[in-house]
Amino acid sequence: MARAGWRPVLRAARIGRIGVMSLPSDCLFCQFVDGSLETEVVGQNQKAIAFRDINPQAPVHVLVIPREHYVDVAALAAADPETLADLVALAQEVALVEADGEYRLIFNSGPTAGQSVFHVHGHVIGGTKLGWTPA
């Protein structure tokens, strides 16, 4: 009987660990949304904001994030697909203004893929001819 409860407990532990990494109260990007930390906002709509990456990898490097906290793009898509659509629309608006509408939109998901901030964000990258060397 002990084993019957083992898997759910493990799953809960994993969810808890991820939750600790990404609690909105100590989330950097939630603090940009609520204004308690300043950043260079370049666009916004009702559901999302866009701001410049502090360490740009291209002439245009803007992050688009939902105002609500979700850990990654899959979590956002599952919980609130309309907000994901608004996020993509904002990325497109920024790219139209800053990169003639030609850009890459990247969502790193998980540390191995390069995710370091666990509030979902799309990287809007453009303004130059882009290479294709992720590894």
Residue numbers annotated as active site: 121
Stretch near ligand 5GP under the rule CB under 6 A, chosen from 15-23, 50-58, 71-79, 87-95:
50-58
Q: 84-93: list long-range contacts, CB under 8 Å, 24+ apart.
A: 86/45, 86/46, 86/47, 86/48, 87/47, 87/48, 87/122, 88/64, 88/122, 89/45, 90/43, 90/44, 90/45, 90/48, 90/49, 90/50, 90/64, 91/50, 91/62, 91/64, 91/122, 91/124, 93/43, 93/50
Q: Mask: binding to ligand 5GP, 51-80, rule CB under 6 A, as x and -?
A: xxxxx-------------------------
The answer to the question of residue 115 lying near ligand 5GP (CB under 6 A) is: yes
Question: How many residues bind to ligand 5GP according to rule CB under 6 A?
Answer: 12
The answer to the question of residue 65 lying near Zn ion (CB under 5 A) is: no
Residues that bind Zn ion (CB under 5 A): 24, 27, 29-30, 69, 119
Residues that bind ligand 5GP (CB under 6 A): 28, 39, 51-55, 108, 114-117
